[in-house]
Amino acid sequence: MRKSLFLTACCLLMASGLFAQIPALERVEPMFWWVGMSNPNVQLIVHGDHISSRNVTLNYPGVKLVAVHKVENPNYLFLDLRISLDAHPGTFPISFIKTGQKALVYNYSLKERNHAVDRAQGVTNKDLIYLIMPDRFSNGDLSNDSVAGMREQGINRAKMYSRHGGDLQGIMNHLDYLKDLGVTAIWLTPAIENDEPSASYHGYAVTDHYKIDPRYGTNALYKKFVEKCHSMGLKVVMDLVHNHAGTEGYTIMDMPMKSWVHQWPKYTKSNFRDAVVMDPHASPADRKQMLDGWFDNRMADMNENNPYVQNFLTQNHIWWVEYAGVDGFRLDTYPYNDPEYMAKWAMDVKAEFPHLSIFGETLVWSAANQAFFTEGNTVNRGFDTHLPGVTDGVWKEAVYEALNGHEGWTDGVNRLYAVMAQDFLYKDATKNTIFLDNHDMSRFLSVVGEDMNKYRSGMAMLMTMRGVPQMYYGDEILMKNFSNPDGLVREDFSGGWTGDKNNKFIAEGRNEKENEAFNYVRKLANYRKNTPALQTGKMMQYITEKGIYVYFRYDDKKTVMVIYNSHEKEETTTTERYYERIKGAKKAKNVITDETIDLNKLTIPGKSTLVLELIN
């Protein structure tokens, strides 16, 4: 821990001494912009050695320099530009002038917007998201395994907290695998530069908001990755971190002002208690520590009440959508952010990209807590967050209870029924992202005790319930481990590295059990991809009876019946009770086996699930 970062606000600002040798004009961000944006205003952040001692001039038709802001740190200027609707694409000089010295010039470009229909198209309940940690999926470019000048050098696959060498090219090399699996959208943990000394392979300690980490590739390659995905009918979700930034980034090491991050007399960590945000009886001190405390000593907590910080973050996120054409945002650590700013952020982003989808990470422990963060003021919060959906961790826990728990009035499978019954709390629960595991928690297979019946049942629920399903890389080939520590659930995808003993990307490299799992997931995922009733159809569930839980997904054209036997032993049931949705159907197709079965009487093995398409 660098002592200068955590003593006092004054000492933190004095970190500017670390940048004593910065160039006279180190950078301008955003480095270019576009004409025809919904918001005509853009604020440039200019960093350079005592740049504030210079006067600023520019002359370009349709562009007005509205204001020049000088702040506490003389190494910064903030320039307010207004770009009129009649401005044309082009390049013009911005001059930084000081008497007796040579003028500094930055050639700023305004570009034409890209209006292709497959850009910023949104990720919806029609999709299946596949979450990838780039460093751990596949190494497609050996030349970027070690990048000169970066604080962490080389790769070491034997150490869980070291870099392993996975990159964008490696992911691009295996898009056919994902397409075949039935995936329609790819979410990468942040691919933005994380130039920390160690253990930043996860991507959540950003040090350069406008730069893809060189160990993954370049900005141009990221754009090419998105374009290749789109050409294959795959969408891309970008992972954003509003709440914190890596301590080695230039805006932290040489902060524009004391209030750029939340300051404490000594290093203070968040208490991580989301309840204080919504608790009407909460201590203001507890609430402040939750929102303003640091996530980690290498993750400075951004002060989102600062208007310069707000502009910096919002413009950066808009920039990435327009530059690369990503289709959606996943918002990291959503409850820790300033709520008013996040609501404004959502409106600003949607004003530019109306179809872009947004979902926030809310690892909380009740449906009401989750709904508190979603749009519509449905739980009397007092204002609209404009957040369409959340990561539905409460649904995940209910599925685990249904698979592992013992049946009771509110336990076992009845917990899942009860959680689904609370969908009234949301403006639209179908916009929630449902999942069984991710990069921060134990692998699904391990949580269900490596029981294949439970595994198949959980996957069936993931593919057939309301919401946007998301799976974690390797779940389909039975990757396992408990998150103790988290590096154990971030292992390499075997076959993604030259010389790997087994290549799990192909059937020949998987063992019999792995192929059984892969084929099961692929069958369900592709069936879902071709069945609107499972995407946008309505849902009807029935109270559990004798351990059997039944729900239907249906639209005007098709009805899918899902039956889960929560008991350990085989159970037989008749179907008269479900007449409202069966509507006289006598037979159904087993989606997995393609066999036609009689609906009059069903036999379901223990902890197993049947997915049946009714035949009218």
The Cα–Cα gap between 263 and 160 comes to 32
Active-site residue among 274, 322, 338, 361?
361
Write out the two tokens for 159.
């150490």
How far apart are the C-alpha atoms of 129 and 189, rounded to whole Å?
Answer: 12
What are the beta bridge partners of residue 549?
A: 564
167 is written with which tokens?
Answer: 């990159």
- What sign does the CA torsion over 220, 225, 466, 568 have? negative
At 104, which helix (H) or strand (E)? strand 104-111
Q: Which residues contact 264 (CB under 8 A, 6 or more apart)?
A: 6, 292, 293, 294
> What type of residue is 38?
S
Distance between CA atoms of 582 and 599, rounded to whole angstroms? 9
In 3-state terms the chain splits into helix, strand, coil percentages (rounded to 5) of 30, 25, 45
**Interaxial angle between packed helices 393-404 and 413-421, expressed in degrees from 0 to 180 and rounded to the nearest 10:** 150
Q: Which is the catalytic residue, given 135, 332, 392, 613? A: 332
Cα separation of 456 and 523, whole Å?
12
473 within 8 A of 132, measured Cβ to Cβ:
yes
Total Cβ atoms within 10 A of residue 338: 20
Closest CA to 378 of 328, 431, 325, 337: 431
Q: With contact defined as beta carbons under 8 Å apart, do 187 and 132 qualify? A: yes
DSSP state of 173: T
Asked if residue 553 lies in contact with residue 560, where contact means CB atoms within 8 angstroms, the answer is yes
User: Alpha-carbon distance 252 to 255, whole Å?
Assistant: 5
* Spatial distance between the Cα atoms of 321 and 472, rounded to a whole number of angstroms: 24
Cα–Cα distance measured from residue 154 to residue 148, given in angstroms and rounded to the nearest whole number: 10
361 a catalytic residue: yes
What DSSP letter does each residue of 389-407 carry, written as one string?
Answer: EEB-HHHHHHHHHHHHSPP
Cα–Cα dist 386/383, whole Å: 9
Distance CA 338, CA 326 (A): 24
Read off the DSSP letter of residue 34. E
CA 580 to chain centre: 38
- Quick one: tokens of 325? 């054409």
How crowded is residue 592: how many other Cβ atoms within 10 Å of its Cβ? 17
Q: Which residues pair with 574 in a beta bridge?
A: 601
First and final C-alpha spacing in the chain = 67
Token pair for 587: 């037979």
- Residue 227 · residue 278 · CB < 8 Å: no
Strands 468-472 and 129-132, bridge-based pairing = parallel
> What is the Cα 458 distance to its own chain's centre?
22
Residues belonging to the active site: 332, 361
